[in-house]
Structure 1
Amino acid sequence: MKQRGFTLIEMILTIVVLAIIFLGIAGFVEFGAKGYNQTVDRQRLQNQARFAIEKMSREVQHAVPNSFDLSSNNKCLAFYPIDYAGFYQYREPAGDVEFVVGNNQPETFADGSHLVINPSRIQDLQNDGQSIDIAGESKEPDGDYFSIQMNLTSQSSANRHYIYQDKAVVYCIEQLIASSNNGRVVRYYGVLDDIEDLSSLSGTVVATGVAFNESRFNYEQTSLQRGGLIHLSLLFQNGDEQSQYKHDVKVANVP
């Protein structure tokens, strides 16, 4: 019986056909892998953006009213977080301020604690006049309240006071490399002398992949109809992928 195998041409054709099939499968797998990686990168970018916006919004909402300051290029936003808040009574002409604190009232106040009444600008928290150092102040022995001497130049219409530390929170959009559009959002915390020079403060990176040129902060002062308003405009980018976030945050507290 005569037996025949594959001819050379048949083997070559088989190899060519199999190679084409494998190349098609490999291309399909590669395309799927790239799509998956792009989806993961896009999700990571969105999650990072949402985290940064949410973190800044929460802190801004509970800041001391009118304690905001912007850098000259609108890339840095500074403010003072509230430690405690409550009501006060001002006794003239002696200048006695008797005040109570809301929930979790302390027995005394830690170093760096300040009280401010009716602030109209950030300088009111950094200079004497509307604010005063209350570190070490303790409750009055005859009641559950505190009493200090203070010469107020103006008073709160709702008799509200705010207690804060002498350290400010500063969010900055920083350029990673000069002449590059690649930036990041950094949170600084410390004693603020000049918002244009933060070299003495320690910072923590909150978000990366921020388009430096297109991202900025804006602030609208308190009006008769509303409290202060912060505009967050951040553009996140990852290669050709871009996500624009324009978010307004209303300061919850009023003087």
Structure 2
Amino acid sequence: MRQRGFTLMELLVTMLILAIIAIGVTSFINFSTRIYVDSQQWGDAVAQQRYGMQRLSLEVRDALPGSVSVTTGATAHCLNFRPIVDSGHFLEAPLHNNPQQISIFAMDCCTAAGCQDCIPDDAGDQFGVAILDGYSVPNPLPRFPSSSCNGDNICTLNLDTAMTQGDFSVGKRFYLAGAPISYCLQNNGALVRSSGSEVSTMGEGYTNNLAACDLNARNNEQCPFIVQPPSLARNNVVKLQLWLTQAGQSTRFAQEVQLENVP
């Protein structure tokens, strides 16, 4: 009995159809894999950016009024400020015309003996007392190597630097300021936080064109940090702008942070 098989033409057509199907399936798998990888990379980059931006905005929000500044250089643009460790109200500054004494309402960290517990031993040389003349921050900040309190919850701080006479805070507020903090966006795309000897990377992969930043242009989108001066209606405002590029897509993350404390 004669058996009939496939002809050469039928085999070629079948192989062509299978090849087309295989190419389509492979392309679909590669496309899906690329979308998944790009999504993962973008998600990781956004999560990292969100962490750095949130920590930066939280710290800037509680910065010492008048201490926020931006410095620019060939390798990095930096946002600099001093954090508030504690604050309170003063009665007299200076006390009885003594330029090295001020009288304050005792802070929570003060004791019956004085306020030395307000300054941790490991950071005592970094803390300073700030009584602002408008938004002007004394430089350097006076420190108080000794203090005393009375039974009426009133304390006297003995400063190591004479205070200058000025039209001090209307609300009679004073601050204890910690060591300076800097957030620097480097030209290699890394956002770095530094305070004293502590340096940590808060994010990577940013693509701001630092060379195109003009701080005089308030709407320059390439400037990572723009400080807007205080007005009668609000305190300082810091504008944060970070460009992030992943998988061929660029997105600008922008946020305005208003300093909550006022002199």
C-alpha contact (below 8 Å) 1:221/1:228 kept by paired residues: yes
Partner Cα separation in structure 2 for residue 215 and residue 115 of structure 1:
32
| Cα shift readout 1:35-77 (whole Å, capped 9, x = no counterpart) | 2222222323332332222221111100111011221459211
C-alpha contact (below 8 Å) 1:175/1:184 kept by paired residues: yes
Q: For the structure 1 residues 232 and 170, does the alpha-carbon distance in structure 2 shift closer, same or farther, using more than 3 Å as the test?
A: same
Task: Work out the number of aligned pairs and report it.
Answer: 232
- Counterpart position of 2:207: 211
Question: Which residues in structure 2 correspond to 1:155-194 (within 5 Å)?
Answer: 155-165=168-178, 167-176=179-188, 183-190=189-196
Partner Cα separation in structure 2 for residue 115 and residue 162 of structure 1:
6
| Cα shift readout 1:97-123 (whole Å, capped 9, x = no counterpart) | 22245556576122122111115345x
Partner Cα separation in structure 2 for residue 114 and residue 202 of structure 1:
19
C-alpha contact (below 8 Å) 2:60/2:257 kept by paired residues: yes
C-alpha contact (below 8 Å) 2:144/2:158 kept by paired residues: no
User: TM-score under structure 1 normalisation?
Assistant: 0.80
Partner Cα separation in structure 1 for residue 229 and residue 175 of structure 2:
18
| Cα shift readout 1:156-183 (whole Å, capped 9, x = no counterpart) | 1101111022x2110111112xxxxxx2
C-alpha contact (below 8 Å) 1:235/1:242 kept by paired residues: yes
Q: Where has structure 1 moved over 6 Å in runs of 4 or more?
A: none
Partner Cα separation in structure 2 for residue 163 and residue 157 of structure 1:
18
| Cα shift readout 1:101-152 (whole Å, capped 9, x = no counterpart) | 5556576122122111115345x1x32xxx32135x4552635453113545
Partner Cα separation in structure 2 for residue 15 and residue 72 of structure 1:
65
Partner Cα separation in structure 2 for residue 159 and residue 184 of structure 1:
40
Partner Cα separation in structure 2 for residue 103 and residue 140 of structure 1:
12
Partner Cα separation in structure 2 for residue 23 and residue 103 of structure 1:
73
C-alpha contact (below 8 Å) 1:186/1:206 kept by paired residues: yes
1:55 paired with 2:55, answer yes
- How well do the aligned residues superpose, as a CA RMSD in angstroms? 2.5
SS in 2 for 1:133: coil
Structure 1: unaligned runs, 5 residues or longer = 177-182, 191-200
SS in 1 for 2:191: strand
| Cα shift readout 1:168-205 (whole Å, capped 9, x = no counterpart) | 110111112xxxxxx22111112xxxxxxxxxx54211
Question: Which residues in structure 2 correspond to 1:76-91 (within 5 Å)?
Answer: 76-90=78-92, 91=95
Structure 2: unaligned runs, 5 residues or longer = 210-221
Partner Cα separation in structure 1 for residue 152 and residue 164 of structure 2:
23
User: TM-score under structure 2 normalisation?
Assistant: 0.77
Structure 1 stretch 34-43 or stretch 15-24: which is displaced more? 34-43
Question: Which residues in structure 2 correspond to 1:128-139 (within 5 Å)?
Answer: 131-135=141-145, 137=146
Specify the code of the residue in structure 1 equivalent to 2:132.
Answer: N
